[in-house]
Every structure is written in structure tokens, then in C-alpha cells.
């Protein structure tokens, strides 16, 4: 979930924590367990922490021996109060607010904050804390239960109904559904065999059926220009390859499958054809790519440069299994 969210941002990020050593070892241990570190480090530019910034700003009164001050201590010191309520739900909000106040009070820019907040790359942190990270025990999901017990309101006290559970994989469920769809299609073809005039024979009608909303998921994924620049002459069309960062972790599963390309509602420089296209692996990037047709509807030459256009220009929707 975290990787997919960060990839969806479409750019490198900085992880700003209260204290790196309280969370990062566990996070990296789990990422290493699932062999996702290479993906993670391409997204995360560096890591910083509030404790490092507080130390640089000489807030020495908050330290007790070698122990770093907790988030509440730093937040109360900045706010000048002693009753700060911090919970799991609002900790990130308190961290952001405290950082913002420290920047305003000390007139710090973002670049200056990074320099003063114990900035390190993930590789540097892994090298320095390799033993700590290896010592973290990654918890596995509990064994799946064999049954569930249901207690109905109409049953007597202490009486329950046991329901045996048969566990299967998502792939097996998909195979069952596809098998059912094939049988339905076969029956339908037998019924319609004598009525060939009702078949879709023209391209426009076939395309309309293919673009039908019922064939595609409602969730959309943002598509961005691949690095580089391309030029489209006036009143001409050109095929473009777009990156889909949010689908990176599912590339093995989705490679070669169809997705519906649609123009992003905020993109207006040219027209993007709404059409199915296949998800492919790029030879130059770790991100999945998809081909789209862009049409320059003006008479002027249009240049699309990834350095100038960082916003998404299209979206894709996956097929309904």
C-alpha cells in the first residue's frame, strides 16, 4: 500500500520521520523480506528526522542522556504547552505542524531543513544499520481458520452454527469465472447462429462495445510522459509511450493485458484517443508503459517535453476479470 501510494505521486519523495531509528529498521526489514528494496530506493530520495533538526537547532534541554526526545516533548516545546495529545491517528499531522512551525520560527527553507535534519539515503542507512535491520523479526500472517462460528439472534444462548471454510486463490476464482463466461458465450452463440444480421460488422459499433464501461474497472491510474521530448505536427497524430508508476508492483501480473486509455480531465494540450492498449515493460525504465495516440488538433507544431509537463496526461482502467 505504501509503495503504491508513493509511486502514484510520480516523483521522488523525502521520508521525514520523528526519529529514523524508531520506524525505519522495521519498515526496511519488511521491504527486504518481500524483495522490494530496489523499487523503494528509486522512489525515496532520502530520509530525515525531526530529532536531528531539533539537535541542530540546539534544543538541548529536551535530551535525557542518550535518549532522543519523543514527538510530544518536541511539539510541546515548540507550542509552549504541556498537554499535547498525540495518538496513532494524529501523529503524522502533529509532526507536519511542528516542522512547519520550526521552519517559520527559524526562517528555514526546505533545502536548509534537509541539510539540518540528519539527511541520509536509504543505502547509507542500510549500510550503517544492517545488523539492526537484520535483527527485526518480520511477522507473518496468521494461519487461515478452518471455520467460522455464527450466532443468530433467534438461537438459544450458547448455540452456534459452524461454517466450514474452503480457501482458494484469486487466480483459481478467476479461472472459475472465466470458465462460466465461456459457457455462457457458447450458449449465446448457438442461440444467435441463425441471426447473423444482428452481429456487429462495422468498426465504430465494435469499438463502442469494447469501450463499454462494464468491461473496465472504475478505478483509474495516472499516466505520465516518459522522459524526453516529442513533437507533433499540426493536425497530425502520433503514438506516445506513457509511464504508469502506480502499476509497477503489478507489472508481472499485468504485462500484456489490456487497459483502457482515456485523456486526463486536466490535460488540454492535445487530444488523447480513448482506446484499449496493452501494458508493457519498458526497456529504459522500471515503470510499466502503455501506448496511446495523441492528436494535435491545432495547426501549430506541438512539443511535449517531460521536463515541462510533470502532471498526468492520461489515465488507464484495467479490464474487469
The mean pLDDT of 40-60, rounded to a whole number, is 86
Report the share of the chain in percent with pLDDT over 90: 20
pLDDT band at 30 (very low <50, low <70, confident <90, very high): confident
Which residues, 6+ apart, have CB-to-CB distance to 132 below 8 Å?
21, 25
Answer yes or no: is pLDDT of 133 > 50.
Answer: yes
Q: Report yes or no: 119 and 46 within 8 Å, Cβ to Cβ.
A: yes
Judge whether residue 304 has pLDDT over 80: yes
CA dist 108 → 48, 76, 79, 102 (Å): 15, 20, 18, 8
Task: With a cut of 90, say whether residue 6 has pLDDT above it.
Answer: no
Q: What φ, ψ does residue 161 adopt, rounded to 5°?
A: -110, 125
Selected residue with higher pLDDT from 6 and 109: 109
Q: What is the pLDDT of residue 71?
A: 85
Rounded mean pLDDT of 153-161? 58
Element (H, E) at 215: none
Structural contact between residues 315 and 223, judged by C-beta atoms closer than 8 angstroms: yes
92 CB-near residues (< 8 Å, 6+ apart): none
Query: What are the respective helix, strand and coil percentages of the chain, to the nearest 5?
Result: 40, 20, 35
What is residue 182's predicted lDDT score, i.e. its pLDDT? 58
- Say if strands 13-17 and 44-49 run parallel, antiparallel, or are unpaired: parallel
Residue 223 predicted with pLDDT over 80: yes
**Cβ neighbours of residue 152 closer than 8 Å, sequence gap 6 or more:** 161
Angle at 13 between CA 17 and CA 77, to 5 degrees: 30
DSSP per position, 90-151: THHHHHHHHHHHHHHHHT--HHHHHHHTT-B-HHHHHHHTHHHHHHSPPPPPPPPPSEEEE-
Residue 290 in contact with residue 222, Cβ under 8 Å?
Answer: no
The span from the CA of 53 to the CA of 225, in Å, is 36
Which residues are registered as beta bridge partners of 223?
Answer: 314
Residue 233, helix vs strand vs coil: coil
- Quote the percentage of the chain above a pLDDT of 70: 74
* Per-residue confidence (pLDDT) for residue 300, from 0 to 100: 92
Mapped onto helix, strand or coil, the DSSP state of residue 266 is coil
| For residues 239-260, average pLDDT | 88
Report, as an integer, the average pLDDT of 300-309. 91
Give 24 or 285, the one with higher predicted confidence.
Answer: 24
Instruction: Return the closest-CA partner of residue 286 out of 36, 13, 84.
Output: 36
Question: Mean pLDDT of all residues in the chain?
Answer: 80
> d(Cα 56, Cα 64) in Å, to the nearest integer?
16
Whole-number Å distance between alpha carbons of 105 and 74: 14
Q: What is the pLDDT of residue 200?
A: 44
Out of 6-10, 17-21, 100-104, 120-124, pick the least confident: 6-10
Contact predicate 13/45, CB 8 Å: yes
Residue 204 pLDDT > 70, yes or no?
no
Q: What's the pLDDT at 186? A: 56
- Pick the residue with more confidence: 194 or 120? 120
Q: How far apart are CA 121 and CA 109, in angstroms?
A: 20
**Higher pLDDT pick, 141 / 90:** 90
Comparing 1 with 277, which gets the higher pLDDT? 277
- Mean pLDDT throughout 177-202? 53
By mean pLDDT, which of 162-176, 202-216, 254-268 is the weakest? Answer: 202-216
Amino acid at each position: 500500500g505504501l509503495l503504491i501510494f508513493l509511486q502514484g505521486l510520480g516523483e521522488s519523495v523525502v521520508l521525514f520521520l520523528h526519529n529514523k531509528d524508531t520506524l525505519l529498521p522495521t519498515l526496511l526489514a519488511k521491504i527486504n523480506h518481500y524483495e522490494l528494496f530496489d523499487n523503494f530506493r528509486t522512489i525515496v530520495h532520502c530520509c530525515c528526522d525531526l530529532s536531528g533538526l531539533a539537535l541542530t537547532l540546539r534544543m538541548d534541554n529536551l535530551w535525557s542522556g542518550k535518549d532522543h526526545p519523543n514527538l510530544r516533548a518536541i511539539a510541546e516545546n515548540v507550542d509552549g504547552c504541556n498537554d499535547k495529545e498525540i495518538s496513532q491517528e494524529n501523529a503524522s499531522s502533529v509532526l507536519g505542524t511542528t516542522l512547519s512551525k520550526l521552519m517559520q520560527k527559524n526562517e528555514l527553507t526546505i533545502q536548509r531543513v534537509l541539510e539540518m535534519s540528519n539527511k541520509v539515503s536509504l543505502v547509507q542507512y542500510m549500510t550503517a544499520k544492517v545488523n539492526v535491520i537484520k535483527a527485526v523479526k518480520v511477522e507473518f500472517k496468521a494461519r487461515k481458520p478452518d471455520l467460522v462460528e455464527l450466532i443468530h439472534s433467534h438461537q438459544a444462548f450458547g448455540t452456534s452454527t459452524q461454517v466450514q471454510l474452503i480457501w482458494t486463490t484469486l487466480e483459481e476464482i478467476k479461472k472459475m469465472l472465466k470458465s462460466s463466461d465461456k459457457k455462457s458465450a457458447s450458449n449465446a452463440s448457438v442461440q444467435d447462429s441463425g441471426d447473423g444480421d444482428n452481429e456487429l460488422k462495422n468498426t465504430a459499433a465494435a469499438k463502442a462495445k469494447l469501450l463499454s464501461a462494464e468491461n473496465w474497472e472504475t478505478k483509474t491510474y495516472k499516466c505520465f510522459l516518459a522522459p524526453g521530448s516529442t513533437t507533433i505536427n499540426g493536425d497530425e497524430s502520433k503514438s506516445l509511450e506513457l509511464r504508469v508508476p502506480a502499476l509497477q508492483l503489478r507489472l508481472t501480473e499485468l504485462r500484456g493485458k489490456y487497459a483502457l486509455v482515456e485523456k486526463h480531465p486536466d490535460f488540454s494540450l492535445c487530444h488523447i484517443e480513448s482506446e484499449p492498449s496493452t501494458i508493457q515493460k519498458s526497456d529504459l525504465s522500471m515503470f510499466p508503459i502503455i501506448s496511446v495516440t495523441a492528436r494535435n488538433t491545432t495547426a501549430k507544431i506541438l512539443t511535449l517535453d517531460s521536463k515541462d509537463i510533470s502532471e498526468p496526461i492520461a489515465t488507464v482502467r484495467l479490464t474487469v476479470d
